[in-house]
Structure formats: C-alpha cells, structure tokens
C-alpha cells in the first residue's frame, strides 16, 4: 500500500498523468476492494458567528483483506486493522 501511496502522489502533484503498481494479490481467499469508507468535513466559523461548511467529501479507500487483517490506503495514509485493533502504518 505504501507503493500505491507513492504512485498516487506522483499523479497528485502533476509529475505524471498515470502510474501503475502491482499489489501482488491473487484470488485465493484474500480480497482487494475500493470502498467509500471515511469522509472529511471542513467547517469555518467566521467572526460574524455564522458557521459555514466548505467541504463534505467521501474519501474512499483501497482495502486488502486476509482473514481478520485489513490493510487500507486512504487519503495518503496506510492503516492496518487486526482483531486486536487498528494502527497507522504510514501517516497521510
């Protein structure tokens, strides 16, 4: 997933229009999926007291699942979830 992050960053900053990465996933009970998990909402509070929402966006994620372990790439970060909880592998 960190390779996916690196390639996505190249496209995001405009160095190239497309990139490819082989995630090495075979069809043997493991799954790779794009999901609509997660969202980001940004609000501002101007001095006049009127709260204003400027962004409310679904982020989406690429998730690899193998048994009770899931590794996800979302918004520049890599996350790992196991039966014991979740950890950040690489920050956004």
pLDDT tens, 53-75? 998 888 788 888 888 888 888 87
Question: What's the sign of the alpha-carbon dihedral 72, 74, 76, 80?
Answer: negative
Domain residue extents for the chain: 2-90
The mean per-residue pLDDT over the stretch 32-61 comes to 81
For residues 66 and 45, give the distance between their C-alpha atoms in angstroms, rounded to a whole number. 43
Kindly report, residue by residue over 15-31, the tens digit of the pLDDT: 788 877 776 666 565 66
Q: How much is the mean pLDDT over the chain?
A: 80
């Amino acid at each position: 997933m960190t390779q996916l992050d690196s390639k996505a960053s190249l496209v995001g900053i405009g160095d190239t229009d497309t990139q490819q990465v082989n995630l090495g996933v075979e069809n043997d009970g493991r799954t790779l999926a794009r999901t609509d998990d997660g969202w980001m909402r940004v609000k501002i509070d101007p001095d006049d007291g009127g709260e204003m929402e400027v962004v409310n966006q679904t982020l989406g994620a690429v998730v690899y699942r193998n048994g009770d372990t899931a590794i996800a790439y979302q918004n520049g970060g890599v996350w790992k979830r196991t039966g014991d909880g979740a950890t950040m592998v690489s920050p956004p």
